[in-house]
Every structure is written in structure tokens, then in C-alpha cells.
Structure 1
Amino acid sequence: MPTPPVNTPNSICVLRLSAIGDVCHAVSTVQAIQRTYPKAKITWVIGKVEEKLIGDLPGIEFVVFDKSLGWKAYRQLRQSMKNRRFDVLLHMQLAFRANLAAFFIPAKTKIGFAKSRSKELHSLFVNQHISDSRGFHVLDGFRDFARAIGVDEGLPEWDIPIPHEAKAWATNFLPKEPFVVISPAASKAERNWATERYAAISDYCHELGYQVLLTGGPTSFEKHLCADISKASRAYTINLAGQTDLKQLLLTLQKAQLVIAPDSGPAHMAVTQNTPVIGLYAHSNPNRTGPYLYQRFTADAYTALACKELGVERQQIPWGYRLKGDNLMSAISVEQVKSLIDQAIDFYGLEQPAAEQSNPE
């Protein structure tokens, strides 16, 4: 166990409201803090949706900040923080709404991101900054918050509870045979791969002998996307779009042999369950936001596109630089993803059922 600093914090507040992927990154850091300071009282100010995924983490008090309430959310936060004062606030979000929330959290020490990465008035709401990150990935930046209070964690670890209700659901609805999950929808439509390419990968997974599950949220767009992929696939797919809550989805990702997804929450949820992920990236840097433990299996169109747009070498791409465009994902080919699937199966020794045989008419 790492040696705590002389001034061991007794009360710690974590401020990370969203999104699902970033909250998953933060869990490993917060749980490392718990292992180092088991007696510290930890409070996490978190978004309403994100709390549904991790609100049952043991030993942590969650204060829900519902951004849909507007100014009322800040009044509620101020009320919940009345008569409190934390030893330290770990302000782990740059968005202005989070910066404003930090104003209502009383803490002796308020630690924020490095000045070089500060934006949206972030520096005005903290009195200390972490050093420039040792790593490029968002999760590495979160790990620097832990280091700032004396926690020197090793490889990231996650322990997110899965309730009995979700396990009972899985027994009834998930296939017993090995399966691959395709989670096709990102938060922005431009980050989604083409329907026919997802369908081609679904068919390839079937050829390898896997069942294929399509997952997605309850939005009309996600349901239609998954339905279109299912319709375009030659082989049968199990379409779970809109039919799982976050805990059920987490367990589905845990039980999968492999997950294929663009830059999205489910990709990072799968990482917390140690399920290999093939990420599809063209708009954001996979070295910064890719599936942390599985970056070697990312279909990366971003790097070449960013270098061309900026006229620089890959190591000169600015941190956080994003590309925009509706057709960027077309730079990722079906054959590229097939090759990554083969590599992941071989590298991780994934359970591979007998390949599909065509039945004579």
C-alpha cells in the first residue's frame, strides 16, 4: 500500500458530473484513493444518469447534480453542502457547469487540472493545480489527482457492483454461447460507423461462431440504428437496444468475449469489466480517449486525418484536438476491423466456438 503523506485527508470531495466514459475513468482513481485512505470520508458530486451506474459503490456518499434542473440544481447543491467543509476537493471536470458547482463546495484545498489544460474559467475555482499529466490519456490525468494527495496507484482497477436483479435478468436474456457485443452509437451521429459496415462485422463474427448482441440506449436514433444493422445482417442478431438499464448493460459487457464500439460510454464501461474493446476512432484522439487497457486494438483513422488537417507529425497534434466531419468514419475499413478482431482473439486467447457452417438446402 502506498505511504500516505503527513497530512492525511479525512474528508475528500470528488467533482466529476459526466459523462459515462469519464466517470468510469474516475472510478479507478477514487477506488485507489479508498485503498490508500480507508478511513477517509469520500463524497462524490455526480450527474443523475451517471449515478445510476456507480451510485452503489461502497464507502462513497453520492450527491446527485441534475443539470436538467438548471439553477435549481445549484441551489440543491448549496443546500446539501451546508455546514460542511472538506479537507480537499478534487475538481476533475473542466466544463463551466462543473466549475460553477465547485464554487458551492466548501473545501480547504481545491485541486484542479494543470494550468496548461485549464479552460472555461477552471482556474478561478481552484487554489491548486495538478502537474502536467505524466500520460496523454484522460485517465492518466485523473490518476494525477490521486498522486496530488499522496496516492501512487498501479495499474487501474475497477470494482463496480452488479446487483442480483441484473444477474437474474442476464440468466434469462443473455445467450449461454460466447457472444460479441456491437454497441454502434456514439453521442454524436458523425462518430458512428456506417450501418452496412457494422452489419458486415456482425456477419464476420457469426462466421467465427459468435452470437452477436446489439446494444444501445432508449433514444429513437439508437433503436433505429440497431434495427437497421440487424436488418442488414445476413445472420441473426440479438437486438437489446433500449431494453437494458446501465447495470444490465454493464453485466452484458462483462460477459461478452469482445466489444466493438465507437468513442462512447459502453466502450469504457467494458474496460471496467476487463472485456477487450475494439474502438472505432476518427474524431477524437484514441491515445487520449480510447479504451484505456485496449488501445493497441483501436481502429485509428484519427491520427492520419489530424496530421493531414494540421500539417504536423503525430507527436505534434495538440492535446484535446478534435476533428469534425460527417464522413470521417468512412476511413475505417471493414477489413481493418476484421483484422483487429482476429488479433484480439489471438492475443487474449478468447473463447472461440466452432465457426459457422453453411447448411445445405
Structure 2
Amino acid sequence: MPLPFSSPPNSLCILRLSAVGDICHTLPVVRTLQAAWPQTRLIWIIGKTESSLVSDIPGIEFVVFDKSQGWRAYPSVKTALKGRRFDALLHMQMSLRSSLINRLVNTDIRLGFDRARAKDLQWLVNNHHIPSHGRQHVMDSLFGFAEALGITERQVTWDIPISQQDKDTVDALIPQHRPLLVISPCSSMSYRNWNANGYAAVGDYAVAHYGMVVVLSGGPSAMEQQMGAQIEHHMQQKPLNLIGKTNLKQLLHLLSKAAVLLSPDSGPAHMATAVRTPVIGLYACTNPERARPYFSAASTVDKYHDAVQKKYGKPASELPWGIRIRDAGTMDTINASDVTEKLDVIMERLGE
């Protein structure tokens, strides 16, 4: 069956393991497949952590890859796929792990990225490739997979289920009648993190000007715990520190209750997008045109283009797409006033 398909396929295998933010970018593509071809069986190979966010979505079978098992994780996937044949594999991740998993999928059509974007053996293990596009947001690039199959009408929806128990757990922790500013201060890469003084200044501003409750969120890592403690120390008004106290489903509900999320380039920024919460994204090390929260262009603080010009002496448009700045201090070029200006605009809009 050649691409694009002239009729709905019987089954598709989706290969996107991580990370949480990119799972959020991938899900609208999967929702698009479901809407266009409701009878097509969808199997999604996904990472263990990421599966806890989406694995209860109806109509999708999830095969979990647990990278903590090392090489033993691959036979586990092979066993789960044994005896199955797919009309196509959508290889939507560039990593050595995913390229190895690719070979475990029984299919004649292996669809991957175009050569310019393919990394980690992606080009070699696939025999079909999405069209080349130079400068796209990550989600737009992933929609290239649906388009290569023959689907052009997008469904930019997420609809991630949250249990009543998880909702109740969060609702018991947060005030119900004051607007919430959720601060998720840490990215998985420390060079993308802003500073505690800045977060604290914005938090105090939100309390003073809008009567907001500041909620700190994040995982249990030492880096996140330390950042939370530092923000608490510097704030004049005590925040509600929930760092390390929520799972991904509970975090998603928390974000759905927030008036605004403040975050660097990280998974929670894209989780907030999934529940249509405005995001003030902090971008100096990564290109917001590629990786910002999808619906929050106007509220993104963009110091990336200044950082690129300073480091390379030329604009980002003349450099490879997605190039990162990892120099210490780059995120500190963001001032608290840059953020409060964005907060003012959002709160004025919410008050209309």
C-alpha cells in the first residue's frame, strides 16, 4: 500500500518515546489520525514516565518502553509486538533508542523525518520520509507524518483523561476562589532554567497586583527541590510549594486550574497548552519559534534572538534551525519586568 494511503489503513504503529513536552506535541497528530480513520488500530510505543500521562486515552494501545531496564527493555517491546504486522510505522523521534526499536516493528512502510532533520540513524532505518520543511515549530513538523499518510485536516486537540481521584487530590491542596500563578521553574536541562530571584520577584508582583496565589510545581529531583526552596526564601509572600507532590495527571489538573503558568522550555509548558492555560514561556537558550508553547506566542519572553546575535554575530535566520545557546548566564538576560509585562497583558485579557 503506497503513500499517501487511498483508503484507511488497518493498523499503524507510532514510535515516540519521550519527552513529556514532545508527547504533548505528538498527541494532536494521533488525535488527527483517530478523527480521520476511526477504525484504524493505533499502537503507540512510548516511554514509561510519559505513558503515565496518556496511557488511558481510549482507542490507543500503548506498548511501554522502560529505559531503566537497559538492554532488557528491547526484548520486552519485541514480545509485545510479536505476531503483529502494521500498514506503516510512524517513526516520530530521533534517538538511537527509537532507531533500534524501529527494527522490532513488522511493516513494509517505515516513515521517518527528511534527511536534513534525521539524526541517530533515522535516515538509515526508514524507507519513506516526510517532506523537508526548513523552519517549523516541533508540532507542525510532526503533523508532516499525518500529511504524508494523506490527512490534511488537523485536529489540534488533546483531551487527556484525568481521574476524579487525581482531581480531588489537587483540589484539596489549592484555594478555589483566587487566581493561581503556577511557577514550574525547572527544565530537564539546567542551562534553560531562570533564576530564583526572578521567579520570586514575579511571584510577589502577582500577589500584590492581582491577589494571585503562587503555586510552585515540579518533580522530586534535588535540583527542583533546591530551586523551590530558593524561591520560597526570596519571596515576601509565601508560595504554596507543591514541588515533588504531584504526579503527571495531578500536575495536568493543577495546570488546568491555573490562570497562568510561568515556565522555561519544559514539559509542563506544553502540558498547560494541552489544557488551554496561558503560558509565559521563558526562552533565551532555545528558539521559541521552534519550541514555544503552541498557543502562547504573544506571551513568550524571547531573549533567544539577542543571545544568538551576541554569541555568533549573526541573526538566527542565518544559523541552523534550532541551534541552542548553552552558555552560563544566558537565561539571566531575562528581567523580571519582561515577565510582569506579559503577566499584565494576560490578566487584563482574563478580566475582560
Alignment TM-score, normalising by the size of structure 1: 0.93
Q: 1:14 is matched by which residue type in structure 2? A: I
Answer yes or no: is the 8 Å Cα contact 1:48–1:66 preserved in 2: yes
Q: 2:288 is matched by which residue type in structure 1? A: P
Summarize the alignment of residues 261-300 of structure 1 with structure 2, pairs less than 5 Å apart.
Answer: 261-300=263-302
Q: 1:343 is matched by which residue type in structure 2? A: V
Deviation at 1:134, TM superposition (A): 7.4
Which residue of structure 1 lines up, in the alignment, with residue 146 of structure 2?
146
Q: Deviations over 1:290-331 (max 9, x none)?
A: 111112211111111112322323322311211111210111
> Which runs of structure 1 show a deviation greater than 6 angstroms over 4 or more consecutive aligned residues?
none
Deviation at 1:15, TM superposition (A): 0.3
Q: Deviations over 1:193-214 (max 9, x none)?
A: 1111110000011012111100
Which residue of structure 2 lines up, in the alignment, with residue 170 of structure 1?
170
Task: Find the aligned partners of 2:72 and 2:199 in 1 and give their Cα distance.
Answer: 42
Task: Find the aligned partners of 1:271 and 1:178 in 2 and give their Cα distance.
Answer: 18
Summarize the alignment of residues 10-25 of structure 1 with structure 2, pairs less than 5 Å apart.
Answer: 10-25=10-25
Task: Find the aligned partners of 2:173 and 2:151 in 1 and give their Cα distance.
Answer: 41
Q: 1:169 is matched by which residue type in structure 2? A: T
Query: Which secondary structure state, in structure 2, belongs to the residue aligned with residue 44 of structure 1?
Result: strand
Task: Find the aligned partners of 1:171 and 1:266 in 2 and give their Cα distance.
Answer: 18
Unaligned runs of 5+ in 2: none
Which residue of structure 1 lines up, in the alignment, with residue 127 of structure 2?
127
Which residue of structure 1 lines up, in the alignment, with residue 186 of structure 2?
185
Report % sequence identity: 42
Count of residue correspondences? 347
Deviation at 1:154, TM superposition (A): 3.4
In structure 2, the CA distance between the partners of 1:351 and 1:254, relative to structure 1 (3 Å rule), is farther
Which residue of structure 1 lines up, in the alignment, with residue 116 of structure 2?
116
Q: CA RMSD in A?
A: 1.4
In structure 2, the CA distance between the partners of 1:312 and 1:155, relative to structure 1 (3 Å rule), is farther
Which residue of structure 2 lines up, in the alignment, with residue 358 of structure 1?
none
Task: Find the aligned partners of 2:243 and 2:257 in 1 and give their Cα distance.
Answer: 17
Answer yes or no: is the 8 Å Cα contact 2:28–2:155 preserved in 1: no
Answer yes or no: is the 8 Å Cα contact 1:133–1:144 preserved in 2: no
Q: Deviations over 1:134-162 (max 9, x none)?
A: 76111111111111112223362111011
Task: Find the aligned partners of 1:199 and 1:351 in 2 and give their Cα distance.
Answer: 24
Q: 2:83 is matched by which residue type in structure 1? A: N
Greater shift in the superposed pair: 85-94 or 189-198? 189-198
Answer yes or no: is the 8 Å Cα contact 2:31–2:155 preserved in 1: no
Unaligned runs of 5+ in 1: 353-361
Which residue of structure 2 lines up, in the alignment, with residue 32 of structure 1?
32
In structure 2, the CA distance between the partners of 1:327 and 1:194, relative to structure 1 (3 Å rule), is same
Task: Find the aligned partners of 2:122 and 2:25 in 1 and give their Cα distance.
Answer: 20
Which residue of structure 2 lines up, in the alignment, with residue 205 of structure 1?
206
Q: Deviations over 1:163-183 (max 9, x none)?
A: 111111123112112111010
Answer yes or no: is the 8 Å Cα contact 2:47–2:64 preserved in 1: yes
Alignment TM-score, normalising by the size of structure 2: 0.95
Query: Which secondary structure state, in structure 1, belongs to the residue aligned with residue 83 of structure 2?
Result: coil
Answer yes or no: is the 8 Å Cα contact 1:133–1:140 preserved in 2: no
Query: Which secondary structure state, in structure 1, belongs to the residue aligned with residue 161 of structure 2?
Result: coil
Which residue of structure 1 lines up, in the alignment, with residue 219 of structure 2?
217
Deviation at 1:345, TM superposition (A): 2.2
Which residue of structure 2 lines up, in the alignment, with residue 235 of structure 1?
237
Task: Find the aligned partners of 1:303 and 1:342 in 2 and give their Cα distance.
Answer: 23
Q: 1:255 is matched by which residue type in structure 2? A: K
Does residue 60 (structure 1) correspond to residue 76 (structure 2)? The answer is: no
Which residue of structure 2 lines up, in the alignment, with residue 356 of structure 1?
none
Query: Which secondary structure state, in structure 2, belongs to the residue aligned with residue 160 of structure 1?
Result: coil
Task: Find the aligned partners of 1:293 and 1:153 in 2 and give their Cα distance.
Answer: 18
